[in-house]
Amino acid sequence: MKVAAVQHDVVWENRAATLARLEPQLAAAAGAGARLVVLTEMFPTGFSMAPERTAEPEGGPSTEFLRTQAGELGVWLAGSVPVRPDGGGRPVNRFLLAGPGGELEHYDKIHPFSYSGEHEHYAAGTRRVTFEVEGVRLTPFVCYDLRFADEFWAMAAGTDCYVVVANWPAARRAHWQALLAARAIENQAYVVGVNRVGEGGGLHYAGDSRIVDPLGEVLAGGAGGETILLADVDPDVVAATRKRYPFLADRRPSPGPAGQDG
């Protein structure tokens, strides 16, 4: 399956302007043959800590944008959106996956970024998920989740490709690049990491989006400008890698503290 990582800028807290900018980029990705097209974290507004201005109801305008574009372009389309759940409570940072036939799946970010106060404005998700898209098993995560290896380990056996959408600041770009490669290597799976570029909320974003193969090789990488990265994700390569190097089978639970069982 050909995947497109759309490394794009965002018009800060301006949904309509950002969506208008994205339409031709999505069309270009689909025109290049991508079956899965991935946008960034909080792609309509930027990583805003003002959900009273940016959060949408379930089925809101950004969700409908994804569904409409997916249907019109005949692709799977993903990215995260600040969403106010129907059941009430605080908004969530929600990864959405829209399909060409009207499908809609979601994952809520498990680890709000406390360093920026995200945990004060957005509720944490409570479940990991895996979706199958055209024969590829995809497990989504959002930005700060990337720092928590155990979340990825827990899903490795049933995952061919992790998709990580982000607004990861340039000040910590080395961490982003290293962790994307590490998650691919230690789980023997593809990792598609899609990060924004430009300025927003007083921060600079350098992009550095990556599509990494199960051995940690970068199949496609972006620098600091808007670009579309394309690479093929093949479950057979994942299976062959794990058969040749059966490292996952050797993974064991961590031992308890000294002198304790478990």
Tens digit of pLDDT for each residue in 123-133? 999 999 999 99
Catalytic residue among 56, 118, 143, 161: 143
In angstroms, the Cα distances linking 131 to 22, 75, 103, 136, 185 are 24, 15, 11, 8, 21
Domain contains 261: no
Domain contains 257: no
- pLDDT given at position 257: 60
Neighbouring CB atoms inside 10 A of 135's CB total: 11
- Confidence grade of residue 252 (pLDDT, cut at 50, 70, 90): confident
Name 59's Cβ contacts closer than 8 Å, sequence gap at least 6.
none
Tens digit of pLDDT for each residue in 196-223? 999 999 999 999 999 999 999 999 999 8
Domain contains 196: yes
Name 5's Cβ contacts closer than 8 Å, sequence gap at least 6.
38, 192, 193, 194, 209, 210, 211, 220, 222, 228, 229, 230
Catalytic residue among 2, 56, 72, 109: 109
- pLDDT given at position 259: 47
Tens digit of pLDDT for each residue in 2-61? 999 999 999 999 999 999 999 999 999 999 999 999 999 999 999 999 999 999 999 999
Task: Clarify whether 161 is annotated catalytic.
Answer: no
Domain contains 259: no
Whole-number mean pLDDT of the chain?
Answer: 95
Tokens for 54? 């940016």
Tokens for 33? 């043959």
Number of domains, the chain: 1
- Residue 150 lies in domain: 2-248
Catalytic residue among 41, 56, 118, 161: 41
Please, where are the H alpha helices in the chain? 15-31, 51-54, 61-73, 118-121, 149-155, 173-187, 235-244
Domain contains 254: no
- C-beta separation of 139 from 130 below 8 A: yes
- C-beta separation of 194 from 40 below 8 A: yes
- pLDDT given at position 183: 98
DSSP string for residues in 211-262: EE-TTS-EEEE--SS-EEEEEE--HHHHHHHHHHS--GGG--PPP-STT---
Task: Clarify whether 143 is annotated catalytic.
Answer: yes
Strand partners, 198: 205
Domain contains 262: no
Domain contains 260: no
- pLDDT given at position 124: 98
Domain contains 120: yes
Quick check: 160 pLDDT over 70?
yes
Pairing state between β 197-200 and 203-206: antiparallel
CATH number of the domain that residue 138 is part of: 3.60.110.10
Task: Clarify whether 41 is annotated catalytic.
Answer: yes
Nearest to 167 by CA among 194, 134, 202: 194
Quick check: 88 pLDDT over 90?
no
